[in-house]
């Protein structure tokens, strides 16, 4: 029997069926488990959640004389589940950036918890990730550039976890660009979040090795798609898209990928999407063995790989979803200045908003100037990409992300 219980009435030995709150509000990846310690009780109390559902058929009931209402006597809103999400309004980049930073922080914590449970051999409930995917999806709807760009700013030691959050956001943006419906878009996002789960079974010293992997170590890493697929099958709640992307996101259209050497016509749409999103975030992120590439340079290099790695139609849609000059790209302008891309223009890929901050001619920093290249009458334009490493600039990301860059 399910029963709604106030948090202060919880005790060790109860079986928790549902935490009545957002995934952001509590520290647990799972929502169904037996309470086994006072520490778990304290974590729930500290989370701010007021009520939970317990299953008295699988654990203790409340103490005598402190009975709570059965689940079917809850308020109408609680009895029917969470209300459907309201339509998400588009907002300006600056208005979304702080909210996106919070989602990135909380998302990383959720993925860390998931990976820890996977390492301990516990079954992974894929449905448990649905609220996190919805939060990411809502942010991408409000302004796709904010969360996608922030998720790229990961340190080398948090790469494995933040990579999952980043690929989730990229998959959602790409799904919308391809015209997938909301249900398919959420499935794509969930697939992105879970695609690297198998790395939980790869030794951390191999994943984070700063030097070149040995053949044996590379063989270990190449097993992660199959290991992740096995874990999702065991969990029993992952959909077809998540299973497919987990297993096949390293396949290439020319058949040179792994684990099955599939060729273009044998690779599903979701797996083709996963391949593009996985590679983009990987090459733009700082890794233990290399610094990330500039976003615009990454797009240029990936374009040359469409005959071997990526499906061309999917890749073109991906570029439209993030821009030819993604947020954070360093560019050179016609006026002889360096500028950072701070926001996309959805209607024209070549005319984003930029912030010019350095005179190439004088070799000095100048007062930052925000320029909307799509504004009528604007004479400034982008004439090329630049490599930040060549110029040695520090804290470039703060020019577009502000304090959120230090999330």
pLDDT above 60 for 389: yes
- Residue written as tokens 């409340």? 62
pLDDT confidence of residue 24: 47
Please, what is the average pLDDT of the chain? 88
Mean pLDDT in residue range 3-12: 89
pLDDT confidence of residue 211: 86
Specify the pairing of strand 330-333 against strand 51-55.
unpaired
Q: Which residues pair with 339 in a beta bridge?
A: 331, 356
State residue 32 phi and psi, 5-degree precision: -125, 110
Q: What span, in angstroms and rounded, lies between the C-alpha atoms of 276 and 305?
A: 10
pLDDT digits (tens, 9 = 90+) for 62-112: 887 655 444 443 333 333 333 334 445 678 898 899 999 999 999 999 999
pLDDT digits (tens, 9 = 90+) for 130-169: 999 999 999 999 998 999 999 999 988 899 999 999 999 9
pLDDT confidence of residue 71: 45
Q: Which H/E stretch holds residue 385?
A: strand 382-385
Token pair recorded at residue 323: 């821009």
Candidates 1.10.3210.10, 1.20.1440.230, 1.10.10.10, 4.10.520.10; CATH matching 93-322: 1.10.3210.10
3-state helix, strand, coil split of the chain in percent (to 5) is 50, 15, 40
Cβ(285)–Cβ(152) under 8 Å? yes
State residue 339 phi and psi, 5-degree precision: -145, 155
Sign of CA dihedral 293, 294, 300, 302: positive
DSSP string, 110-125: HHHHHHHHHHTTPPP-
pLDDT-derived band at 28, boundaries 50, 70, 90 = low
Mean pLDDT in residue range 105-128: 92
Number of CB atoms found within 10 A of residue 240's CB? 11
Which residue intervals of 259-397 are DSSP H helices? Answer: 269-284, 295-303, 312-322, 388-391
Residues 6+ apart with CB under 8 A from 134: 85, 186
pLDDT above 80 for 18: no
Cis preceding linkage at 109, omega within 30: no
Q: Where are the domains of the chain?
A: 2-79, 93-322, 330-406
pLDDT confidence of residue 57: 85
Among the listed residues 328, 104, 85, 30, the one whose alpha carbon sits nearest the alpha carbon of residue 52: 30
Going from the C-alpha of 309 to that of each of 226, 268, 272, the distances in angstroms are: 20, 14, 9
3-state DSSP assignment of residue 203: coil
pLDDT above 70 for 335: yes
Q: What span, in angstroms and rounded, lies between the C-alpha atoms of 138 and 88?
A: 6
Q: What span, in angstroms and rounded, lies between the C-alpha atoms of 174 and 144?
A: 10
pTM for the model:
0.79
Residues 6+ apart with CB under 8 A from 202: 220, 221, 223, 224, 227
pLDDT above 70 for 353: yes
Q: What span, in angstroms and rounded, lies between the C-alpha atoms of 128 and 342?
A: 34
Specify the pairing of strand 2-6 against strand 15-19.
unpaired
pLDDT digits (tens, 9 = 90+) for 251-306: 999 999 999 999 999 999 999 999 999 999 999 998 888 889 999 999 999 999 99
Environment class of 35 (CB within 10 Å of its CB; exposed 0-12, middle 13-18, buried 19+): buried
Which of 237-251, 288-302, 382-396 has the highest average model confidence (pLDDT)? 237-251
Specify the DSSP class assigned to residue 357.
Answer: E
pLDDT confidence of residue 26: 52
Cβ(177)–Cβ(321) under 8 Å? yes
* CA angle, 305 then 182 then 18, to 5°: 115
Q: What span, in angstroms and rounded, lies between the C-alpha atoms of 199 and 304?
A: 28
pLDDT above 70 for 214: yes
- Residue written as tokens 């920093």? 365
pLDDT confidence of residue 21: 59
Which residue intervals of 120-181 are DSSP H helices? Answer: 130-142, 144-152, 159-177
pLDDT above 90 for 236: yes
CA 169 from centre of chain: 5
Token pair recorded at residue 184: 């398919």
């Amino acid at each position: 029997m399910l029963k709604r219980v106030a948090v202060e009435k919880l005790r060790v030995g109860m079986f928790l069926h549902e935490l009545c709150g957002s995934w952001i509000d509590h520290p647990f990846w799972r929502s169904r488990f037996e309470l086994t310690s006072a520490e778990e009780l304290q974590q729930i109390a500290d989370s701010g959640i007021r009520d939970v559902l317990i299953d008295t058929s699988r654990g203790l009931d409340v103490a005598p004389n402190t009975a709570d209402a059965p689940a079917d006597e809850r308020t109408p809103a609680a009895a029917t589940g969470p209300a459907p999400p309201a339509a998400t309004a588009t907002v300006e980049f600056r208005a979304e950036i702080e909210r996106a930073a919070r989602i990135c922080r909380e998302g990383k914590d959720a993925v860390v918890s998931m990976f820890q449970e996977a390492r301990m051999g516990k079954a992974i409930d894929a449905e448990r990730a649905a609220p996190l995917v919805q939060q990411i999806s809502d942010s991408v709807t409000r302004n796709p550039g904010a969360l996608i760009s922030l998720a790229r700013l990961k340190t080398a030691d948090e790469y494995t976890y933040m990579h999952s959050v980043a690929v989730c956001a990229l998959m959602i943006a790409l799904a919308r660009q391809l015209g997938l419906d909301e249900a398919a878009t959420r499935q794509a996002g969930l697939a992105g979040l879970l695609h690297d789960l198998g790395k939980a079974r790869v030794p951390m010293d191999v994943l984070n090795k700063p030097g070149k992997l040995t053949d044996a170590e590379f063989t270990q890493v190449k097993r992660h798609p199959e290991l992740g697929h096995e874990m999702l099958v065991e969990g029993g709640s992952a959909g077809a898209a998540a299973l497919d992307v987990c297993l096949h996101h390293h396949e290439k259209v020319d058949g040179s990928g792994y684990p099955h050497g599939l060729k273009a016509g044998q690779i599903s749409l979701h797996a083709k999407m996963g391949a593009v999103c996985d590679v983009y975030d990987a090459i733009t992120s700082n890794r233990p063995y290399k610094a990330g590439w500039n976003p615009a340079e990454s797009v240029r290099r990936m374009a040359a790989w469409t005959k071997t790695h990526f499906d061309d139609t999917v890749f073109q849609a991906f570029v439209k979803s993030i821009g030819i000059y993604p947020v954070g790209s360093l560019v050179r302008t016609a006026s002889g200045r360096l500028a950072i891309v701070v926001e996309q223009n959805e209607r024209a890929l070549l005319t984003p908003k930029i912030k010019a901050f350095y005179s190439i001619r004088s070799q000095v920093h100048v007062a930052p100037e925000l320029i909307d290249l799509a504004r009528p009458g604007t004479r400034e334009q982008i004439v090329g990409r630049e490599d930040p490493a060549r110029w040695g600039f520090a804290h470039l990301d703060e020019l577009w992300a502000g304090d959120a860059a230090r999330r």
